[in-house]
Amino acid sequence: MPLNRIVVVEPSGFCAGVKRAVGMLEQALCELAPPIYCYRELVHNRQVIEQFTARGVRFVNCLDEVPEGANLVFSAHGVAPQIVEQARGRCLRVLDATCPFVARIHSKVRQFVAEGRTVFLVGHRTHDEVRGVVGEAPGAVMVIENPAEAEAVQVAPGTALAVVTQTTLSVADTAKTIGVLHSRFPALATLPQSDICLAVRNRQLGVSRLAEQVQRILVLGAQNSSNSQRLVEVAVAAGADATLISTLDDLADIDWQGVDQVGITAGASTPESFMQAVINALRRLNGAAVTRLRVATEDLAAAEPSLAEGDDNGQQRK
Ligand code: SF4
């Protein structure tokens, strides 16, 4: 059975926070003298990092690698205050590409801790975003990865508590973890709106709808992209066969036998150029027609949290 239909879900690919971070680094390349350093990966995507590396950006994991007084960009995932201090100590000129949705979580953690609360941070403890948020108050933020950890966590009686989450988690899995925390700690303070950002929720909605139409789904994104990995999990939970595609070479491993339709989505840090390259490769291989499935219209600029009021994050990074 030949592949005759490729369904591309929209929205997919770059979110507003990634577009903003990429745009800031592009502008820095135009306006500032090289070299420009970036602390950690600007966004979790190999193609993006390779393209900027080829243009002279130096990605570092430690500020000791950055000469005093150099230009430094903080990634979209944000950084701990200790990194901000180190940059200041080395007289680095900082451009902060932290996504406003991530900055909002930093701000809320500072606020909760100032109220005397211990904060549960639901997320993956090795992810850059989580490391940065924990750095706001290392003794007062406890990372909870899953419902089992929510069941096991212990706090002293009478401790005032709050919960926030990483921005790129699975909506369904996070609800389970927070449900456990709420049942154990009914007075837990929460934010009025979800910390999982709109772009991530839209992409998870999209892949669920896609799974109603096609059996095979390709999720385009990097292995270390949290939101791309979550899209694979959501697709599988919805009953589809889902595969993460990080490079064009990964397509060679797909078994197309019996597959006449394939769905495509892409994580929030996957560039349009890679999506197009995959679509072109599939069309060359099989001559299939491309259709679009739009599940939401994304106006993230309107949803972007304001950093102007009650949030010192922007000030702190200057
Ligand atoms: S996925 Fe959401 S939180 Fe992460 S960079 Fe994009 S808009 Fe910001």
233-278 pLDDT, tens digit per residue, is: 999 999 999 999 999 999 999 988 889 999 999 999 999 999 999 9
Nearest CA to ligand 1 atom 7: 17
Residue with tokens 């896609």: 210
Rounded CA separation 231/99 (Å): 20
- The token pair that represents 312 in the structure block: 């010192």
How far apart, in whole angstroms, are the C-alpha atoms of residue 313 and residue 303?
A: 18
* CATH 3.40.1010.20 boundaries in the chain: 5-14+199-294, 101-196
Burial of 148 (0-12, 13-18, 19+ CB in 10 A): exposed
Q: Which of 20, 23, 25, 103 is nearest to 71 (CA)?
A: 25
The structural architecture, per CATH, of the domain 5-14+199-294 is 3-Layer(aba) Sandwich (3.40)
pLDDT at 313: 38
Grade residue 193 by pLDDT with cuts at 50, 70 and 90.
Answer: confident
Structure tokens at 14: 């770059």
Q: Quote the CA–CA distance of 204 and 275 in Å, as a whole number.
A: 17
Q: So what's the ipTM on this one?
A: 0.99
Among 98, 145, 139, which Cα is nearest to 119's?
A: 139
Indicate the class that CATH gives domain 16-99.
Answer: alpha beta
**Residue 78 contacts residue 102 (beta carbons within 8 Å):** yes
d(Cα 271, Cα 162) in Å, to the nearest integer? 36
Is the distance from CB of 316 to CB of 80 less than 8 angstroms?
no
Pocket-testing residue among 42, 45, 101, ligand 1, by greatest number of atoms within 8 A of Cβ: 101
pLDDT tens digits, 130-169: 999 999 999 999 999 999 999 999 999 999 999 999 999 9
| R_g of the chain, CA atoms, integer Å | 21
Model confidence at 316, pLDDT cuts 50, 70, 90, reads: very low
Q: Picking from 7-21, 82-96, 250-264, which range would have the lowest pLDDT averaged per residue?
A: 250-264
Predicted confidence (pLDDT) at residue 310 exceeds the cutoff of 70: no
- How much is the pLDDT for 304? 64
Distance 133 CA to ligand 1 centre (A): 15
Active site residue 50: no
All CATH 3.40.50.11270 domain ranges of the chain, comma separated, are 16-99
Ordered DSSP codes for 145-173: -SHHHHHH----TT--EEEEE-TTS-HHH
196-238 confidence digits (pLDDT tens): 999 999 999 999 999 999 999 999 999 999 999 999 999 999 9
> What's the CA gap between 173 and 231, in Å, rounded?
12
In what side-by-side order are the strands of the sheet with 118-122? 141-144, 118-122, 161-165
Tell me which of 10, 41, 50, 129 is the catalytic residue: 129
Separation between Cα atoms, residue 120 and residue 185, nearest integer Å: 11
Look at the domain 101-196 and name its fold.
Answer: Cobalt-precorrin-4 Transmethylase; domain 1 (3.40.1010)
Q: How far apart are CA 81 and CA 126, in angstroms?
A: 17
306 confidence band (pLDDT: 50, 70, 90): low
- The amino acid present at 60, given as its one-letter code, is V
Ligand 1 atom having least distance to the Cα of 167: 3
The pair phi, psi for residue 228, each rounded to 5°, is -70, -40
Task: Calculate the average pLDDT of the chain.
Answer: 92
Candidates 45, 124, 167: which one to mutate for ligand 1, based on the most atoms within 8 Å of Cβ?
A: 167
* Confidence grade of residue 66 (pLDDT, cut at 50, 70, 90): very high
